[in-house]
């Protein structure tokens, strides 16, 4: 798997979804290790670091991407192995990340489904494998549930969600993003995914999520976030802000049809922790206020790297 090609696919969103881009980056680093022509361990790590930088620069908001790269690089850099065992270590670490990530999504489904009741109508936004894992698991347990899916303008990932859930046999209603307030009275729980979670429990997710959270809060509807622990952003402990990606205006409308009009396209927004009832992780369910605790447990090992 070519690093530049993979980065391009992530940038263009041919490969998308915070968990998916992390796993894809890990796979790309694995291939990079397998095909490396480096003659020394030092040279090998240097090449791996360069590849990691290219992958990380593909999309700025989902911390899952740099977390995956750093997980692998940290192991390589902190070992004193010779070239061959070092390569094997990197390959095994990439495999470990991918496997753990897949298991985390499954576990989130098992844990989160406990929060879904028979007869619930659930609203979800965009297309999150973690959020859908909760919904699908609850349905497979025999719970009679219905789902409202927002379309998620401008790229319509909600269409993927609607198709995915229908395939599973779950009744789905597709609505435009701006219709949420009309339907909120019919909704028992909102479940969304996350691209990044800050140390204060603020959730960065697909644009529109924070509006949805406001509406849920106004109508006293539970608002859940489903996220693997590698979606937590360690650098926010040091005060770093999460960059919000702004993509090309042409995703919103053809600029040629709007001469003289400025078109903006931020693709994520920030939901304050006050609007989040629970975060469902593979380690268990937690309030957003416990984010620091999770970050300390999960990322103690990279703290020293971040200070450099």
Q: How far is the CB of 173 from ligand RI2 (least distance, A)?
A: 19
Q: What are the strands, taking DSSP E only, across the chain?
A: 121-124, 146-150, 172-175, 189-192, 196-197, 203-206, 222-226, 268-271, 278-281, 284-286
What residue ranges bind ligand RI2 (CB under 6 A)?
16-20, 126, 128-130, 157, 192-195, 205-206, 267
Cβ closer to ligand RI2: 94 or 131? 131
**284-286 and 278-281: which strand pairing?**
antiparallel
Beta carbon nearer to ligand RI2, 41 or 229: 229
Copy the structure tokens of residue 104: 């985390």
**Active-site residue flag, 126:** yes
* Residue 277, token pair as written in the block: 């009832």
Smallest separation (angstroms) from ligand RI2 to the CB of 109: 11
Q: Which among 161, 277, 263, 157 has a CA at the least distance from the CA of 206?
A: 157
Q: Which of 32, 120, 126, 177 is catalytic?
A: 126
Euclidean distance between CA atoms 1 and 32, whole angstroms: 7
Residue 195 bears catalytic tag? yes
In the complex, what is the shortest distance from the CB of residue 167 to ligand RI2, in angstroms, rounded to a whole number? Answer: 16
Question: How many whole angstroms separate alpha carbon 294 and alpha carbon 278?
Answer: 14
* C-alpha span between 164 and 149 (Å, rounded): 11
Catalytic residue among 120, 177, 195, 277: 195
Supply the minimum distance, in Å, between the C-beta of residue 83 and ligand RI2. 34
Pair 190, 227: CB distance under 8 Å: no
- Of the pair 6, 41, the CB lying nearest ligand RI2 is at 6
When the beta carbons of 16 and 70 are compared against ligand RI2, the nearer one is 16
**Annotated active-site positions, please?**
126, 195
């Amino acid at each position: 798997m070519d690093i530049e090609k993979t980065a391009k696919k992530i940038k263009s969103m041919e490969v998308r979804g915070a968990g998916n881009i992390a796993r894809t980056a890990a796979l790309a680093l694995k291939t990079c290790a397998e095909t490396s022509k480096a003659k020394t361990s030092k040279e090998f790590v240097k090449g791996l670091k360069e590849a990691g930088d290219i992958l990380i620069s593909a999309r700025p908001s989902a911390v899952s991407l740099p977390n995956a790269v750093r997980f692998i690089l940290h192991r390589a850099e902190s070992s004193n192995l010779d070239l061959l065992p070092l390569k094997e270590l990197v390959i095994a670490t990439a495999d470990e990340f991918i496997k753990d990530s897949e298991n985390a999504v499954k576990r989130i489904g098992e844990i989160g489904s406990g929060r879904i009741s028979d007869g619930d109508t659930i609203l979800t936004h965009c297309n999150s494998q973690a959020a859908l894992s909760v919904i699908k698991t609850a349905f497979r347990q025999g719970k009679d549930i219905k789902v409202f899916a927002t379309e998620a303008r401008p790229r319509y990932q909600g269409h993927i969600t609607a198709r995915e859930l229908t395939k599973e046999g779950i009744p789905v209603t597709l609505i435009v993003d701006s219709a949420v307030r009309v339907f909120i009275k019919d909704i028992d729980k909102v479940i969304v995914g996350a691209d990044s979670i800050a140390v204060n429990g603020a959730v960065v997710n697909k644009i529109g999520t924070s509006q949805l959270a406001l509406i849920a809060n106004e109508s006293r509807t539970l608002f859940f976030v489903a996220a693997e622990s590698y979606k937590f952003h360690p650098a926010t402990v040091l005060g770093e802000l999460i960059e919000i990606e702004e993509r090309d205006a042409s995703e919103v409308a053809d600029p040629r049809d709007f001469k003289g009009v400025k078109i903006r396209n931020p693709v994520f927004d920030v939901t304050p922790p006050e609007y989040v009832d629970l975060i469902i992780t593979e380690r268990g369910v937690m309030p957003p206020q416990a984010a620091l605790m999770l970050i300390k447990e999960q990322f103690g090992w990279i703290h020293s790297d971040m200070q450099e």
